Chains A and B, each alone.
Chain A
């Protein structure tokens, strides 16, 4: 029965390659078909989530029936089940938004790439093989390159080219890391690597791990390799921007956490954690400082997103279970909030023709629901109590204190202060400046926005059940011994 979970990969793939045939039959059926596929995907993801959390056991899918490490396996544990659901729901909402936001032809190509992006992120989260992770990462990256350049303007091509060059360097680094680990252990299966990790030469393992982290850092938008992100966020079609911020980055961060923790038995492993802490801290500082001086709201949100991603990376690198759980909670909250905010900003750009800050003057009178959504999202990101991000920032601070990183409290609070500066400036512009006649807002999009706002407030008021789920997901990444036990490795022992 649980083998049906492989439809999570198969459905978007077949859907994507069915679209060219569908286009021959009827061109106007392409976008409704996209809604149908993402809706079914959401249904399957909800079923998988339910199954994994009720039985408490991960779903293992063995490709072709070969047991790992001979065959490739998918591992849908507590983390993957949660985030597959996040990916599917976000994709569904963004498909609805695409009807309004995407007007450039050819829409059938857009629908194909959209499904492939969703597939790539789903695969990165659910795979149990380090080379398969590379393949899914490249599927995500190549469809992302194409989607960024989709608007066919010069700026969009420029942003895509930056991403292609950095992404190419990153994937080469990643492959060198894979070569080092394969060369020293002779296996590519993650559980098998974790089982053999104490045997490997520590220098080789650390070099390989550092290369894997640098390779993933391009997609995960960590500091030296994130120059592409603001440009790409600004120029990509609006639904795609929301998808990047909501789950493409999160998939890479998860992959980073996974490859770090499966090698935790390596001697001197904590030096790698320190490397990631430095990268994450620099990402936070540079992201917040750059966000402060932006005049384009979409670009400002992009920098804010980069800063939050830095906080998540720092939490992953604390090396404690509570740190990883707090990171997962922050990933989840940030996915909801940024999906909402990029949706709202994209909708403003569609209706008013741009995302420069002067377009937002008087937005509170012109598009009240959208303005309300942006306000709630902004207040939540700053970390005001009764909104969801307050609780994840709180957990991050507690985890940092428990791990003896007192200065990290200053980092998180300082970041919140800078966020407060630029978000309150934006809120002020929206509600207290300028006038304008009312624009009729689409009721479907208003409903989607209010749904996300309600979710933000519900998590803000009742964080307990969500935090319990996040703790299970965090321990899925952190607890490597359990991970090894869960994967039915063929009778090989060190």
Chain B
């Protein structure tokens, strides 16, 4: 059993805890980022083979001596998407703070019912 799996699941759970338990919007977004990092680590470790090098075609690196390249391509995409989501969320939070003058989620509750 690969130790990276435990680390990545732990990161996902820490992020989920932060989203569910924290009251500050920015801390929730930090939790979201931690969760995304955990998922990315999980994807990378799915394709990891002990003792092999990065899948970059160069001297001495043949396909049978590199790790699986597909998860790395996936994670590259997932990181870009994560950055876009975080940027979007932060710009929404800026507008939210201007209108509500608070970052506490318990006070940001005008929509209900």
Q: A and B from one assembly?
A: yes
A positions within 8 Å CB-CB of B: 131, 134-135, 138, 141-142, 145-146, 149, 152-155, 157-161, 164-165, 167-169, 171-172, 175-176, 178-179, 182-183, 188, 230-231, 234-235, 290, 293-294, 299
Number of A-B contacts (CB under 8 A): 105
Shortest B49–chain A CB gap in Å is 12
Question: What is the CA–CA distance of A193 and B28 in the complex, to the nearest angstrom?
Answer: 35
Q: A155-B110, A159-B111, A161-B25 are in contact. Are A169 and B92 (CB under 8 A)?
A: no
Residues of B within 8 A of A164 (CB): 85, 88-89, 92
Name B111's contact: one of A138, A142, A235, A294 (CB within 8 Å).
Answer: A235
B74:A178 contact, CB within 8 angstroms: yes
Name B39's contact: one of A135, A145, A153, A176 (CB within 8 Å).
Answer: A176
Question: What is the CA–CA distance of A234 and B70 in the complex, to the nearest angstrom?
Answer: 41
Question: What is the CA–CA distance of A315 and B73 in the complex, to the nearest angstrom?
Answer: 36
B93 within 8 A of A: yes
Q: Give me 14 other A-B pairs in contact (C-beta within 8 A), A157-B93, A159-B111, A172-B39 excluded.
A: A131-B77, A138-B85, A152-B95, A165-B19, A168-B85, A169-B16, A169-B32, A171-B85, A175-B43, A176-B12, A176-B42, A179-B42, A179-B43, A179-B71
A154:B96 contact, CB within 8 angstroms: yes
Question: What is the CA–CA distance of A388 and B77 in the complex, to the nearest angstrom?
Answer: 42
A175:B85 contact, CB within 8 angstroms: no
Question: What is the CA–CA distance of A145 and B91 in the complex, to the nearest angstrom?
Answer: 11
Q: Indicate the member of A149, A164, A179, A299 with the most B CB atoms within 10 Å.
A: A179
B100 within 8 A of A: yes
Binary per-residue interface labels of chain B (77-109) against chain A in the complex, 1 for a CB within 8 Å, 0 otherwise: 110010011001100110110011000000011
* B16-35 interface with A by 8 A CB criterion: 16, 19, 25, 28-29, 32, 35
Nearest CB to that of A183 among chain B residues? B46
Contact-size category for B: 35 or more
B95:A157 contact, CB within 8 angstroms: yes
B71:A142 contact, CB within 8 angstroms: no
Question: What is the CA–CA distance of A155 and B100 in the complex, to the nearest angstrom?
Answer: 9
Residues of A within 8 A of B32 (CB): 165, 168-169
Residues of B within 8 A of A176 (CB): 12, 39, 42
Question: What is the CA–CA distance of A109 and B96 in the complex, to the nearest angstrom?
Answer: 20
Shortest A225–chain B CB gap in Å is 13
Question: What is the CA–CA distance of A138 and B78 in the complex, to the nearest angstrom?
Answer: 10
B39:A175 contact, CB within 8 angstroms: yes
B113 within 8 A of A: yes
Shortest A283–chain B CB gap in Å is 18
Question: What is the CA–CA distance of A290 and B112 in the complex, to the nearest angstrom?
Answer: 11
Binary per-residue interface labels of chain B (34-70) against chain A in the complex, 1 for a CB within 8 Å, 0 otherwise: 0110110011001000000000000000000000001
Q: Which 8 A-B pairs have the closest CB atoms?
A: A154-B99, A183-B46, A157-B96, A168-B32, A231-B111, A157-B95, A175-B39, A138-B81
B88:A155 contact, CB within 8 angstroms: no
A179:B88 contact, CB within 8 angstroms: no
A188:B70 contact, CB within 8 angstroms: yes
A-B contact pairs, 21 of them (CB 8 A): A131-B74, A135-B77, A149-B92, A149-B95, A155-B111, A157-B92, A158-B96, A158-B100, A165-B28, A168-B35, A168-B89, A169-B19, A172-B39, A175-B43, A176-B42, A179-B42, A179-B43, A182-B46, A182-B71, A293-B113, A294-B113
A154:B74 contact, CB within 8 angstroms: no
Shortest A403–chain B CB gap in Å is 35
Question: What is the CA–CA distance of A298 and B110 in the complex, to the nearest angstrom?
Answer: 16
Residues of A within 8 A of B15 (CB): 172
Shortest A300–chain B CB gap in Å is 10
Nearest CB to that of A174 among chain B residues? B39
Question: What is the CA–CA distance of A164 and B84 in the complex, to the nearest angstrom?
Answer: 11
Question: What is the CA–CA distance of A299 and B25 in the complex, to the nearest angstrom?
Answer: 25
